[in-house]
Structure 1
Amino acid sequence: MANGYFTPFTEGILDGSIDLDTATVKVALVRGYTFTATHRHVSDVTSGGGTINGTSAALTGKTVTGGVFDADDTTISATASAADHGLLVFQSSAAGGGADVAASSQRLIAWFDTGTGLPIQPGTGTVTITWPAANPKILKVG
Protein backbone atom coordinates (compact mmCIF):
# COMPACT_ATOMS: atom_id res chain seq x y z
CA MET A 1 0.00 0.00 0.00
CA ALA A 2 1.16 3.52 -0.78
CA ASN A 3 -0.21 7.03 -0.94
CA GLY A 4 0.79 9.13 -3.90
CA TYR A 5 0.10 11.70 -6.55
CA PHE A 6 -0.23 10.57 -10.13
CA THR A 7 2.62 11.85 -12.35
CA PRO A 8 0.19 13.04 -15.06
CA PHE A 9 -1.50 15.17 -12.37
CA THR A 10 1.61 17.33 -11.98
CA GLU A 11 1.84 17.59 -15.76
CA GLY A 12 -1.84 18.61 -15.88
CA ILE A 13 -1.27 21.37 -13.32
CA LEU A 14 1.57 22.74 -15.45
CA ASP A 15 -0.22 22.52 -18.82
CA GLY A 16 -3.63 23.69 -17.54
CA SER A 17 -5.57 20.49 -18.23
CA ILE A 18 -6.20 20.16 -14.47
CA ASP A 19 -7.61 23.10 -12.51
CA LEU A 20 -8.29 22.28 -8.86
CA ASP A 21 -10.30 25.37 -8.00
CA THR A 22 -12.42 25.59 -11.19
CA ALA A 23 -12.98 21.99 -12.32
CA THR A 24 -15.28 19.49 -10.63
CA VAL A 25 -13.19 17.39 -8.22
CA LYS A 26 -14.57 14.25 -6.57
CA VAL A 27 -13.36 11.40 -4.38
CA ALA A 28 -14.23 7.72 -4.78
CA LEU A 29 -13.96 4.62 -2.62
CA VAL A 30 -11.91 2.06 -4.54
CA ARG A 31 -10.94 -1.51 -3.69
CA GLY A 32 -8.59 -3.93 -5.41
CA TYR A 33 -6.32 -1.26 -6.88
CA THR A 34 -2.54 -1.09 -6.67
CA PHE A 35 -1.27 2.48 -7.05
CA THR A 36 0.55 3.08 -10.32
CA ALA A 37 1.96 6.61 -10.56
CA THR A 38 1.78 6.71 -14.36
CA HIS A 39 -1.99 6.17 -14.53
CA ARG A 40 -3.76 9.19 -16.05
CA HIS A 41 -7.52 8.50 -16.12
CA VAL A 42 -10.16 6.87 -13.91
CA SER A 43 -10.51 4.20 -16.60
CA ASP A 44 -6.85 3.25 -15.96
CA VAL A 45 -7.78 2.48 -12.34
CA THR A 46 -10.77 0.31 -13.26
CA SER A 47 -8.92 -1.49 -16.04
CA GLY A 48 -6.04 -1.98 -13.56
CA GLY A 49 -8.21 -4.03 -11.19
CA GLY A 50 -9.83 -1.25 -9.16
CA THR A 51 -13.55 -1.40 -8.37
CA ILE A 52 -15.30 1.87 -7.55
CA ASN A 53 -17.71 1.48 -4.64
CA GLY A 54 -19.25 4.94 -4.47
CA THR A 55 -18.28 8.47 -5.45
CA SER A 56 -18.80 11.77 -3.66
CA ALA A 57 -20.63 14.74 -5.06
CA ALA A 58 -18.40 17.56 -6.30
CA LEU A 59 -16.13 18.77 -3.51
CA THR A 60 -17.29 22.11 -2.09
CA GLY A 61 -15.43 24.89 -0.34
CA LYS A 62 -12.34 24.24 -2.44
CA THR A 63 -9.31 26.44 -1.81
CA VAL A 64 -5.88 26.61 -3.37
CA THR A 65 -3.58 28.67 -1.15
CA GLY A 66 0.18 28.53 -0.75
CA GLY A 67 0.41 25.39 -2.87
CA VAL A 68 -2.13 23.58 -0.66
CA PHE A 69 -5.43 22.20 -1.98
CA ASP A 70 -8.26 21.80 0.51
CA ALA A 71 -12.03 21.35 0.47
CA ASP A 72 -14.90 20.74 2.83
CA ASP A 73 -15.27 17.26 4.28
CA THR A 74 -17.57 15.09 2.18
CA THR A 75 -19.54 11.86 2.20
CA ILE A 76 -19.73 8.84 -0.07
CA SER A 77 -22.56 6.32 -0.19
CA ALA A 78 -20.97 2.86 -0.31
CA THR A 79 -22.95 0.35 -2.32
CA ALA A 80 -21.20 -2.91 -1.48
CA SER A 81 -20.06 -4.50 1.75
CA ALA A 82 -16.41 -5.05 0.92
CA ALA A 83 -13.18 -4.37 2.78
CA ASP A 84 -9.98 -2.42 2.22
CA HIS A 85 -10.93 0.65 0.20
CA GLY A 86 -8.60 3.49 -0.68
CA LEU A 87 -9.57 7.01 -1.69
CA LEU A 88 -9.17 8.15 -5.28
CA VAL A 89 -9.22 11.92 -5.85
CA PHE A 90 -9.93 12.90 -9.44
CA GLN A 91 -11.10 15.72 -11.71
CA SER A 92 -14.41 14.55 -13.14
CA SER A 93 -15.04 17.48 -15.51
CA ALA A 94 -13.03 19.41 -18.03
CA ALA A 95 -10.54 21.88 -16.52
CA GLY A 96 -13.05 24.73 -16.91
CA GLY A 97 -15.75 22.87 -14.96
CA GLY A 98 -19.14 21.69 -16.15
CA ALA A 99 -20.60 18.22 -16.46
CA ASP A 100 -18.70 15.03 -15.80
CA VAL A 101 -16.76 13.65 -18.74
CA ALA A 102 -16.27 9.96 -19.56
CA ALA A 103 -14.08 7.91 -17.20
CA SER A 104 -11.53 7.69 -20.02
CA SER A 105 -11.14 11.49 -19.75
CA GLN A 106 -11.47 11.99 -15.97
CA ARG A 107 -8.02 13.00 -14.71
CA LEU A 108 -6.43 11.31 -11.70
CA ILE A 109 -5.03 13.48 -8.92
CA ALA A 110 -4.14 11.42 -5.84
CA TRP A 111 -4.47 8.01 -4.20
CA PHE A 112 -4.67 7.47 -0.43
CA ASP A 113 -4.77 4.01 1.17
CA THR A 114 -2.44 4.47 4.13
CA GLY A 115 -3.00 6.63 7.20
CA THR A 116 -5.48 7.19 10.02
CA GLY A 117 -8.72 5.41 9.15
CA LEU A 118 -7.26 3.87 5.99
CA PRO A 119 -7.90 1.54 4.39
CA ILE A 120 -11.64 2.12 4.81
CA GLN A 121 -13.96 -0.76 5.72
CA PRO A 122 -17.24 0.80 4.52
CA GLY A 123 -19.83 -1.95 4.63
CA THR A 124 -22.88 -0.31 3.07
CA GLY A 125 -24.20 3.15 3.84
CA THR A 126 -22.58 6.54 4.16
CA VAL A 127 -18.85 7.04 4.71
CA THR A 128 -17.66 10.44 5.91
CA ILE A 129 -14.36 11.66 4.48
CA THR A 130 -12.66 14.10 6.86
CA TRP A 131 -9.66 15.80 5.28
CA PRO A 132 -6.70 16.64 7.54
CA ALA A 133 -6.96 20.08 9.19
CA ALA A 134 -3.19 20.69 8.93
CA ASN A 135 -0.89 20.65 5.91
CA PRO A 136 -0.84 18.91 3.54
CA LYS A 137 -4.68 18.92 3.89
CA ILE A 138 -5.86 17.11 0.72
CA LEU A 139 -2.57 17.75 -1.04
CA LYS A 140 0.38 20.09 -1.27
CA VAL A 141 2.25 20.85 -4.46
CA GLY A 142 5.83 21.95 -4.11
Structure 2
Amino acid sequence: MASALYPSFKQLLLSGGIDLTSADIRAIIVDSADYTYSAAHDFLDDVPAGARVAVSGALASKTVTGGVFDAADVTYNSVSGDSVEAIVLYKHTGTETTSNLIAYIDGVSVTPNGGNITVTWNASGIFAL
Protein backbone atom coordinates (compact mmCIF):
# COMPACT_ATOMS: atom_id res chain seq x y z
CA MET A 1 0.00 0.00 0.00
CA ALA A 2 1.31 3.42 -0.88
CA SER A 3 0.98 6.39 1.44
CA ALA A 4 -2.35 8.21 1.19
CA LEU A 5 -4.51 10.91 2.70
CA TYR A 6 -7.84 9.57 3.94
CA PRO A 7 -10.71 10.87 1.74
CA SER A 8 -12.70 11.91 4.83
CA PHE A 9 -9.76 14.15 5.81
CA LYS A 10 -9.73 15.73 2.36
CA GLN A 11 -13.43 16.51 2.79
CA LEU A 12 -12.71 18.13 6.17
CA LEU A 13 -10.02 20.31 4.60
CA LEU A 14 -12.27 21.42 1.77
CA SER A 15 -15.12 22.28 4.13
CA GLY A 16 -12.92 24.07 6.70
CA GLY A 17 -13.53 21.41 9.34
CA ILE A 18 -9.93 20.99 10.49
CA ASP A 19 -6.99 23.28 11.20
CA LEU A 20 -3.81 21.21 11.28
CA THR A 21 -1.80 23.87 13.09
CA SER A 22 -4.19 24.27 16.03
CA ALA A 23 -5.66 20.75 16.33
CA ASP A 24 -4.18 18.01 18.53
CA ILE A 25 -2.59 15.85 15.81
CA ARG A 26 -1.02 12.53 16.85
CA ALA A 27 0.87 9.71 15.13
CA ILE A 28 0.40 5.99 15.67
CA ILE A 29 3.00 3.50 14.52
CA VAL A 30 1.12 0.46 13.26
CA ASP A 31 1.65 -3.16 12.31
CA SER A 32 0.28 -3.58 8.78
CA ALA A 33 -0.34 -7.27 9.46
CA ASP A 34 -3.12 -6.09 11.78
CA TYR A 35 -4.37 -3.04 9.86
CA THR A 36 -4.98 -2.48 6.17
CA TYR A 37 -5.62 1.01 4.85
CA SER A 38 -9.06 1.59 3.40
CA ALA A 39 -10.34 4.77 1.76
CA ALA A 40 -13.60 4.08 3.63
CA HIS A 41 -11.95 4.47 7.05
CA ASP A 42 -12.65 7.80 8.68
CA PHE A 43 -12.14 7.61 12.46
CA LEU A 44 -9.61 6.10 14.84
CA ASP A 45 -11.98 3.28 15.78
CA ASP A 46 -11.33 1.89 12.26
CA VAL A 47 -7.72 1.14 13.29
CA PRO A 48 -7.82 -1.99 15.51
CA ALA A 49 -6.22 -1.58 18.93
CA GLY A 50 -4.06 -4.65 18.20
CA ALA A 51 -2.49 -2.86 15.22
CA ARG A 52 -1.40 0.15 17.30
CA VAL A 53 2.16 -0.46 18.44
CA ALA A 54 2.66 2.99 20.01
CA VAL A 55 0.92 6.39 20.00
CA SER A 56 2.62 9.76 20.17
CA GLY A 57 1.51 12.73 22.18
CA ALA A 58 0.42 15.84 20.30
CA LEU A 59 2.78 16.67 17.44
CA ALA A 60 4.88 19.74 18.20
CA SER A 61 6.01 22.65 16.03
CA LYS A 62 3.33 22.05 13.39
CA THR A 63 3.43 24.21 10.28
CA VAL A 64 1.54 24.53 7.03
CA THR A 65 3.57 26.35 4.40
CA GLY A 66 3.09 26.28 0.65
CA GLY A 67 0.62 23.41 0.93
CA VAL A 68 3.00 21.28 2.99
CA PHE A 69 2.22 19.99 6.49
CA ASP A 70 5.19 19.42 8.78
CA ALA A 71 5.96 18.96 12.48
CA ALA A 72 8.82 18.14 14.80
CA ASP A 73 10.17 14.58 14.73
CA VAL A 74 8.52 12.13 17.15
CA THR A 75 10.15 9.77 19.66
CA TYR A 76 8.26 6.79 21.08
CA ASN A 77 9.83 5.62 24.34
CA SER A 78 10.52 2.01 25.36
CA VAL A 79 8.61 0.40 22.49
CA SER A 80 7.97 -3.33 22.38
CA GLY A 81 5.47 -5.41 20.43
CA ASP A 82 4.76 -6.19 16.81
CA SER A 83 6.82 -4.96 13.88
CA VAL A 84 5.96 -1.53 12.49
CA GLU A 85 5.33 -0.88 8.80
CA ALA A 86 3.26 2.31 8.72
CA ILE A 87 2.24 5.48 10.55
CA VAL A 88 -1.31 6.76 10.88
CA LEU A 89 -1.86 10.44 11.61
CA TYR A 90 -5.12 11.46 13.26
CA LYS A 91 -6.84 14.37 15.01
CA HIS A 92 -7.10 13.43 18.68
CA THR A 93 -10.45 14.34 20.28
CA GLY A 94 -10.34 11.95 23.22
CA THR A 95 -12.99 9.72 21.63
CA GLU A 96 -12.06 7.14 18.99
CA THR A 97 -15.36 7.51 17.12
CA THR A 98 -14.75 11.24 16.55
CA SER A 99 -10.95 11.25 16.09
CA ASN A 100 -10.55 11.89 12.35
CA LEU A 101 -7.97 9.90 10.41
CA ILE A 102 -5.67 12.12 8.37
CA ALA A 103 -2.92 10.16 6.63
CA TYR A 104 -1.56 6.66 6.18
CA ILE A 105 2.22 6.75 5.71
CA ASP A 106 3.71 3.56 4.35
CA GLY A 107 7.34 2.49 4.03
CA VAL A 108 8.31 2.24 7.69
CA SER A 109 10.25 -0.83 8.79
CA VAL A 110 11.09 -1.20 12.48
CA THR A 111 11.08 -4.14 14.84
CA PRO A 112 10.64 -2.86 18.40
CA ASN A 113 13.17 -4.16 20.93
CA GLY A 114 12.17 -2.26 24.06
CA GLY A 115 14.18 0.83 23.11
CA ASN A 116 13.08 4.16 21.73
CA ILE A 117 11.84 4.61 18.16
CA THR A 118 12.33 8.02 16.56
CA VAL A 119 10.33 9.01 13.50
CA THR A 120 12.26 11.55 11.47
CA TRP A 121 9.89 13.18 9.02
CA ASN A 122 11.01 13.84 5.47
CA ALA A 123 12.95 17.11 5.17
CA SER A 124 10.36 18.32 2.65
CA GLY A 125 7.49 17.79 5.14
CA ILE A 126 5.13 15.08 6.30
CA PHE A 127 2.75 15.46 3.36
CA ALA A 128 1.89 17.97 0.66
CA LEU A 129 -1.35 18.85 -1.07
Equivalent residue, structure 2, for 1:132? 122
Question: Which of 16, 35, 38 pairs up with 2:37?
Answer: 35
Kindly provide the amino acid, as one letter, of the partner of residue 35 in structure 1.
Y
Give CA-to-partner distance per residue, 1:59-91, whole Å, 9 cap, x none: 111101111000111112354332243111111
1:57-136 equivalent positions in 2, closer than 5 A: 57-77=57-77, 79-93=79-93, 101-114=94-107, 118-134=108-124
How far is 1:19 from its partner? 1.4
How far is 1:18 from its partner? 1.9
Equivalent residue, structure 2, for 1:13? 13
> In the alignment, does 2:46 pair up with 1:44?
yes
Task: Give the match's secondary structure for 1:125.
Answer: coil
Q: Distance in 2 between matches of 1:5 and 1:122?
A: 26
Q: Distance in 1 between matches of 2:109 and 2:90?
A: 18
Q: Distance in 1 between matches of 2:7 and 2:116?
A: 31
Q: Distance in 2 between matches of 1:126 and 1:84?
A: 13
Kindly provide the amino acid, as one letter, of the partner of residue 128 in structure 2.
K
Q: Which runs of at least 4 in structure 1 moved beyond 4 Å after TM superposition?
A: none
- Given that 2:45 and 2:97 are in contact with CA atoms closer than 8 Å, whether structure 1 keeps it comes out as yes
Q: Distance in 1 between matches of 2:78 and 2:19?
A: 27
- Given that 2:53 and 2:81 are in contact with CA atoms closer than 8 Å, whether structure 1 keeps it comes out as no
- Structure 1 unpaired stretches of 5+: 94-100
% of aligned pairs identical? Answer: 34
Q: CA RMSD in A?
A: 1.7
Q: Distance in 1 between matches of 2:46 and 2:78?
A: 21
Normalising by structure 2, what TM-score?
A: 0.89
- Structure 2 unpaired stretches of 5+: none
Normalising by structure 1, what TM-score?
A: 0.81
The alignment covers a number of residue pairs equal to 127
How far is 1:108 from its partner? 0.5
